[in-house]
A and B are shown apart, each in its own frame.
Chain A
Amino acid sequence: MNWIESIVLVAVLALVAFAFYEGFVHHRKEPCGGCPYAKNCSGSCAKKEKCEER
């Protein structure tokens, strides 16, 4: 394995890991995971129990 191949492989792995984290993990950790109104939301609707009440 030459050095270019090593760099490409690392870059691809990093990209795939980033895509997985951002696409499937990150937004679920955010308040109101997946809620389109969560952006800029600093309110208590961010709390899990409040979301469940809805």
Chain B
Amino acid sequence: MRVALVGNQNSGKTSLFNCLTGSNQKVGNWPGVTIDRKEGVIKGTETILVDLPGIYSLSPYTSEEEVSRKYILEENPDVIINIVDATSLERSLYLTTQLLELDCQVILALNMCDILEKKGISIDEKELSKNLHMSVVKISALKNMGIQELINLLKSEEILDNKHQKIYEDPIEKAIEKISSQLNDLKHKRFISVKLLERDPLLKDKETENIRHDITECEQAYQLDMEQIIANQRYLYIDKVKQTCLTKTPVPESGTDKLDKIFLNKWLALPIFALIMALVYFLAVGVVGSYTVELISGEGGIITLFQNWLSEFLISNEVSEWLISLICDGIIAGVSSVLGFVPQLIILFLCICLLETSGYMSRIAFLLDKLFRSIGLSGKSLIPFIVGSGCSVPGIMTCRTIEDETERRITIMLTPFMPCSAKLPILTLFAGNFFGEFAWLATVFLYFLAILTIVFSSLVMKKWIFTEKGSAFISELPEYKLPSLTYVLRDVGEKTFAFIQRAGTIILFCSVVVWFLLSFSWKLEYGVAIEFSILASIGKGLAWLFYPMLGTLSWGSAVSALQGLIAKEQVVSSMAIIAGLFEETADATIFAGNGIFSFFTPASAYAFMVFNLFSAPCFGAIGAMKRELGSVKRMLQAVLFQTGIAWVLAVLIYQIGHFLEMMG
């Protein structure tokens, strides 16, 4: 038996999926967490449960709607669990009225019933079941309430059959019947008939002259567009159902309302957002970053002590010089330079997770909707940007929630501008070394520079590249929730583990390659001066590109920035290895004394940070861009655009900064 889980965005589908299957899929307090279907087996049964992306209707306006509709119509699940947010029944039942038109059993799962009383809402589920002629179960996926009843109902097979209630007025019902009679062997006849009346673009091949005639007749009779007529009558039906089974009593202002008065205040909202983000970076980079990097990989840090001990141990055991150099100057120096940032990342992941799960990030999307719409995007684009601040790959994939193609493409191209966790080591390294106690301010400024660059880039793209109109942001604001400790710990743990895993795999391997390219010449002679190494000769060919933003020809910076294509953390790792081999002292720090990177000034450091923040993302994100943009050409356009913007910004920052440095 196959059961599909269908519902609006943020109705709790994934939470219910996790409850029913015992799995740990990511949940979130914002719309669009599920962008593709997921499957699992319902506990204690052999029933397969399919979690479909959140949708508001079965019209194919967004890719999630297409995924869900395609699954329902083509793979014919035996039962559909329609999960609805019981606290906003009217909006949720719109999708239900479409599911009722299918030839398939539908169970209505009224989710969030645990907070109905608090909101002064009472729902008579028996009356609702009678009205819709479908099985209704009251549940709370968050509190694990009513889940067993739902499983029992699935097992009992006593689910009410879909009776195809007549919900439209006579002329429409007659038109539906007429079309249905022409659809001989098709399943879901009523659904398809309604969709044909709505001029569904995916059913164009089934449209006949008779159908077009019926549509015109109805439109003339109602003086409205057919899609509007059907939507209006659905809402009229929902209103009728609601009146018989829902009672609402006035309740005092909720906590969410009180908080929204502050967080969504016309004048305070944006300054509060700026303050919150400043606090996040102050905690991650300022408070934690100021001593943890030193503690882990600084001169007297744990890793440096281990490196010194290991080096002495290997020397005393007469291990070859090249092998000691490979282990200490290559592997340990490369990996530790990245691992030193783990404590800061934990704080960053924790703060972002708390902001996401509490419901605050949805408010930010709502808040910036107006500003974003004026530049051709919408609040919907903000969700990928928020997700992208963890990692660009899922951020880019979240763009599927955007129905407007132009807006989706622009968002895909701009999501890598957000400072993802892999870029944090670069930002922290430079900010910590050149801006001292103001390091957190330097990084938070970069965060807002990223937003400004997104706004500017979008304007440019909208004006010269894409000229179509954007879409409106349709989403509801979720309740503020106290984040679940288990979820927060798991989310932060998973992200931290993924970062450490990258350090132990991709960064470790790249460190060995970088060490090899730095220790050998083209003639494969070991121990040549670093300036004559293979990597140096490659870097010297690229260094001129970085001259306008660094004020000097630095092959080390050029090859390090290039390695950001493999993984952004690799920039720091590569610089650590180059600096270590150049200085030839065990305690050499990246920007020390007469080292290879000692030329950096605050202006060139900031310019280099900006270049690495905005230039082409890592190969993983480039691959995601290719998949989502649908062509290599568009992907290359995006990469060139990003790198171009990064270069121009970096050069501007260096030239202005250098001028200011000269002045005073």
Interface residues of A (CB under 8 A from B): 1-2, 4-5, 8-9, 12, 15-16, 18-20, 22-24, 34-37, 40-45, 54
Contacts and interface: CB of A to CB of B under 8 A. Distances in A.
B39 A42 contact: yes
B389 to A, nearest CB: 14
Interface stretch (B144-152, B314-322, B350-358, B635-643): B314-322
A2 B318 contact: yes
B496 interface: no
Contact of A4 (B23, B25, B319, B397): B319
A2 B508 contact: no
Contacts of B63: 54
A45 B36 CA distance: 8
B314 A8 contact: yes
B36 A8 contact: no
B326 A12 contact: yes
A49 to B, nearest CB: 13
Nearest to B620: A34
B36 A54 contact: yes
B39 A5 contact: no
A37 B25 CA distance: 8
B323 A41 contact: no
A37 to B, nearest CB: 6
Given A2-B318, A43-B38, A23 B509 contact: yes
Interface string B27-44: 000000001111110000
B347 interface: no
B25 A45 contact: no
Contact of A19 (B67, B327, B400, B504): B504
A8 B67 CA distance: 52
Contact of A36 (B326, B394, B505): B394
Contacts, number: 86
Contacts of A4: 314, 317-319
A31 B26 CA distance: 18
A37 B504 CA distance: 21
14 contacts: A2-B318, A4-B318, A5-B319, A5-B323, A8-B323, A12-B331, A18-B505, A19-B508, A20-B509, A22-B501, A23-B509, A34-B623, A43-B50, A45-B38
B317 A5 contact: yes
A24 B512 CA distance: 14
B497 to A, nearest CB: 11
Task: Give the contact-size bracket for chain B.
Answer: 35 or more
B391 interface: yes
A45 B397 CA distance: 14
Contact of A16 (B24, B25, B320, B512): B512
Contacts of B67: 54
A31 to B, nearest CB: 12
A36 B512 CA distance: 27
Contacts of B323: 5, 8-9, 12
Contact of A34 (B23, B36, B393): B393
Given A18-B505, A37-B36, 10 more contacts: A2-B318, A4-B314, A9-B323, A15-B331, A19-B512, A23-B508, A34-B623, A37-B397, A43-B37, A44-B37
Nearest to B509: A19
Contact of A54 (B40, B505, B627): B627
A9 B314 CA distance: 11
B327 A8 contact: yes
A1 B67 CA distance: 61
B453 to A, nearest CB: 24
Query: Chain A at the B interface: mostly helix, strand, loop or mixed?
Result: helix
Contacts of A37: 26, 35-36, 38, 394, 397
Interface string B319-348: 110010011000100000000000000000
Contacts of A45: 36-38
A23 B36 contact: no
Given A34-B620, A40-B23, A43-B50, A24 B506 contact: yes
A29 B623 CA distance: 15
B242 interface: no
B320 A22 contact: no
Interface in B299-318: 314, 317-318
Contact of A23 (B327, B502, B624): B502
A51 to B, nearest CB: 8
Contacts of A8: 314, 319, 323, 327
A10 B39 CA distance: 42
Contacts of B318: 2, 4-5
A35 to B, nearest CB: 8
Contacts of B502: 23
A15 B67 CA distance: 42
Interface string B215-240: 00000000000000000000000000
A42 to B, nearest CB: 6
B273 to A, nearest CB: 26
A15 B508 contact: yes
Chain A CB within 10 Å, residue with most, of B63, B501, B509: B509
Contacts of A9: 323
Nearest to B51: A43
A18 B327 CA distance: 15
A3 to B, nearest CB: 9
Nearest to B317: A4
A36 B40 contact: no
Contacts of B314: 4, 8
Contacts of A12: 323, 326-327, 331
Contacts of A20: 505, 509
B393 A44 contact: no
Given A8-B319, A8-B323, A23 B37 contact: no
B505 A19 contact: yes
A5 to B, nearest CB: 5
A44 B326 contact: no
A2 B314 CA distance: 11
Contacts of B320: 1, 5
Interface string B61-90: 001000100000000000000000000000
A4 B327 CA distance: 14
Q: Which of B35, B397, B400, B505 has the most CB of A within 10 A?
A: B505
B391 A36 contact: yes
B378 to A, nearest CB: 22
A23 B623 CA distance: 15
B353 to A, nearest CB: 15
Contacts of B397: 35-37
